[in-house]
Amino acid sequence: MSVVAFVTFDGFYVAGLSRIEPVLAKAVAVVRARKVLDSSPGARKIGIHPGMAASEARYASQGSKMRFVDYRESDYAETSARWLDICCEYTAIIEPVEPHCAFLDLSTLAGARELALAMSADIYGAVRICPRIGIASSKLVARLTGQVIPEGGDAGFLAQLPIESLWMAKPEHLRRLSFLGYRTIGEVARLPLEVLQKQFGQAGLQISLWVRGMDRTPVRPLYPPEELSARFTFPQPVRLDQEVEAGLKALAEHFGSVLRTRDMQTKQIELEVVFEGNRVESAARCFVNPMQSPGALLTGLRLTLRLVALGSEIYSIRARFPKIEPSDRSQMTLDATVKDAEKANGAIKQLQETFGQGIIKRAGEVEAPRRQKFLKAFLGGDVLASRPQGNGSVKRRPAKDSWTS
């Protein structure tokens, strides 16, 4: 049975800013993407809360000494790493969602549901911010609760929550359920599968599972972030652009092969250039779009190298990707591994136990149409098309020993 923990903090970003500039702790709001990400107790007293539109918050703060600070990830990276490192003492499978929250897979720990208090104390000791920890059997429920849900209690916990709490579902689906008059998740859980499928099509099956507390989404091991590094040493010191280009191309080909094989990508590049006299210059750059192919990596390396003043001969270039992550693929690979097959069989078995054996049919179990079976039996051999072609004749595949002129 899986055990998932969700660790989060209230006031994480304001606390981080107060360490940089203590005066900000009084009345401050952190803004990201035109919304309030976090606000201090003083800001909340005048009605400014996380999630509020920034324009609305600025209007509400008129006449006060309220300050608005734009979000910068670098301001909170150190604090985030400290509490995540504490989580590494409990599990190696950690999936950060934001600097202030993450999922943990505690399935391999004996008595995992009894660790919440000890984990909370350890995290507080590292960052001096009190965390809120929810533990359940799935990511869906762990994120919603700030307490420990006993094994088998996910569905009961969800039943009393408003339908808007089903955070994994699409917003348009939640609006549709609300429009139909359903107010709680428990009310939707009592609906037959056929009703949900009629309203939402294929998504109806997934909604039916979620409202019953069934979520098999795994926690991804994304922390600590993996990194790659390699050094290219020139056969002799170089100065010309085309000579330097050869080294960058070699690094791009190497990294591209590794990332493609591991199906990873990166957005950050760090360079360390060694000049004559062992003088070292460094540069780093963060990109908006992820890079994986040798061409994209070569462009990234070139742009990062522009930040270094190339005034003398170069002995070597060391490139480092401090954070690589799983690539965002639009299409999965066609070859299924044994592990993927086992996951699929487990999911199918769970669906059949819940909704009956006839809920899912494999492709090999789908019966051919009567017309196609008749044509195959009447004509013999394989039928290339079940539709009449032209004058109503049916095309047949010629025998191997036949020829046409």
Ordered structural domains, the chain, with CATH:
9-78 (3.40.1170.60), 79-211 (1.10.150.20), 226-326 (3.30.1490.100)
The pLDDT of residue 245 is 95
**Cα separation, 227 vs 258, whole angstroms:** 11
- pLDDT of residue 215 exceeding 60, the answer is yes
pLDDT over 70 at 387, yes or no: no
Q: Is the pLDDT of residue 27 over 50?
A: yes
Q: 311-329 pLDDT, tens per residue?
A: 889 999 999 999 898 887 5
Instruction: Give me the pLDDT at residue 357, please.
Output: 65
* 64 confidence band (pLDDT: 50, 70, 90): confident
Calpha distance 213→21 (Å, rounded): 44
DSSP state of 401: T
Please tell me the least confidently modeled range out of 85-94, 248-257, 391-400. Answer: 391-400
User: Cβ–Cβ contacts within 10 Å for residue 140, how many?
Assistant: 25
Model confidence band, residue 19 (pLDDT cutoffs 50, 70, 90): confident
**What local confidence, expressed as pLDDT, does residue 1 receive?**
79
Which residue type does 162 have?
P
**Range of lowest pLDDT (121-130, 131-140, 207-216, 381-390):** 381-390
379-391 average pLDDT score: 48
Would you state the pLDDT for residue 342? Answer: 58
What pLDDT, in 10s, does the model give residues 233-274? Answer: 999 999 999 999 999 999 999 999 999 998 999 999 999 999
For residue 52, the model assigns a pLDDT of: 96
Q: Could you tell me the pLDDT band of residue 178, with boundaries at 50, 70 and 90?
A: very high
pLDDT reading at 356 higher than 90: no
Which one has a higher pLDDT value, 311 or 57?
A: 57
pLDDT range class, residue 393, cuts 50, 70, 90? very low
Render 338-375 in DSSP notation, one character per residue. Answer: HHHHHHHHHHHHHHHHHH-GGG---GGGSPPPHHHHHH
Q: Could you tell me the two tokens for 94?
A: 């950690």
Any residues with CB less than 8 A from the CB of 229 and at least 6 apart, and which? 318, 319, 320, 321
Query: Would you say residue 333 has pLDDT above 60?
Result: no
User: What count of other Cβ atoms lies within 10 Å of the Cβ of residue 377?
Assistant: 9
- Residue 388's pLDDT is 44
What stretches of 185-263 adopt beta strand conformation (E)? 226-238
| Predicted local confidence at residue 65, as pLDDT | 86
Identify the pLDDT of residue 185: 97
Q: What is the pLDDT of residue 386?
A: 43
Give which of 248, 229, 226 is closest to 308, Cα–Cα: 248
Q: How far apart are CA 316 and CA 333, in angstroms?
A: 37
Would you say residue 97 has pLDDT above 70? yes
| Mean pLDDT value of segment 187-204 | 94
**What average pLDDT does range 285-299 have in this prediction?**
94
User: Does pLDDT of 379 surpass 50?
Assistant: yes
Query: C-alpha angle 377/380/385, rounded to 5°?
Result: 85
Cis omega (within 30 of 0) for bond into 369: no
Q: What is the SS3 assignment for the chain? A: CCCEEEEEECCHHHHHHHHHCHHHHCCEEEEECCEEEEECHHHHHCCCCCCCEHHHHHHHCCCCCCEEEECCHHHCHHHHHHHHHHHCCCCCCEEEEECCEEEEECCCCCCHHHCHHHHHHHHHHHHCCCEEEEEECCHHHHHHCCCECCCCCHHHHHHCCEHHHCCCCCHHHHHHHHHCCCCEHHHHHCCCHHHHHHHHCCHHHHHHHHHCCCCCCCCCCCECCEEEEEEEEEEEEECCHHHHHHHHHHHHHHHHHHHHHHCEEEEEEEEEEEEHHHCEEEEEEEEEEEECCHHHHHHHHHHHHCCCCCCCCEEEEEEEEEEEEECCCCCCCCCCCHHHHHHHHHHHHHHHHHHCHHHCCCHHHCCCCHHHHHHHHHHCCCECCCCCECCCECCECCCCCCCCC
The per-residue pLDDT for 366 is 72
- Comparing 388 with 248, the larger pLDDT belongs to 248
For the ranges 255-259, 340-344, 376-380, which has the lowest average pLDDT?
340-344
Among 250, 252, 205, smallest CA distance to 359 is for 205
Q: How much is the pLDDT for 92?
A: 94
pLDDT at 226 over 70: yes
